[in-house]
């Protein structure tokens, strides 16, 4: 069974920093990409940052220059370093993995999600 476990959420003041971690476990044949999403109250879930298996990264315009996504392939872990945090960054942050797992005798590619971790930026 594939599981994504997140850590690093919490309360931080504007201008502060946090680092999120998300580790995938279970029967994982390969991970094509990992990503971070966030969802604020009353808003749709939005893509924050992605990183491919080759290390190519992409960011939402709202976080460019402030957030950095990285990946430790040996640990099946993705990180999100968040600097210069703003109140509008307040949201539940979810990690996502595009991966291949084995179900019965089949190799299945699909998206898996973490449970989410709350980030609150407030003075």
Split at pLDDT 50, 70, 90, the class of 47 is: very high
Please report which confidence band the pLDDT of residue 1 belongs to, taking 50, 70 and 90 as the band edges: confident
Q: What is the pLDDT of residue 73?
A: 87
User: What tens digit of pLDDT does each residue of 48-86 get?
Assistant: 999 999 999 999 999 999 999 999 988 999 999 999 999
Residue 18: is its pLDDT beyond 90? Answer: yes
Q: What is the pLDDT of residue 107?
A: 95
Contacts for 106 with CB less than 8 Å, ≥ 6 apart: none
- Picking from 36, 86, 32, 88, the residue whose alpha carbon sits closest to that of residue 60 is 36
With beta carbons less than 8 A apart as the criterion, state whether 36 and 51 touch: no
């Amino acid at each position: 069974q594939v599981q994504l476990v997140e850590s690093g959420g919490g309360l931080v003041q504007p201008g502060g920093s946090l680092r999120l971690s998300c580790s995938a476990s279970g029967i994982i044949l390969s991970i094509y990409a990992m990503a971070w999403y966030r969802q604020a109250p009353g808003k749709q879930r939005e893509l924050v940052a992605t990183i491919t298996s080759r290390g190519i990264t992409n960011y939402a315009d709202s976080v460019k220059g402030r957030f950095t996504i990285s990946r430790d392939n040996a640990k099946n872990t993705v990180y999100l370093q968040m600097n210069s945090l703003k109140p509008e960054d307040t949201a539940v942050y979810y990690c996502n993995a595009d991966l291949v797992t084995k179900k019965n005798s089949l190799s299945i590619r699909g998206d898996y999600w973490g449970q989410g971790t709350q980030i609150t930026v407030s003075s």
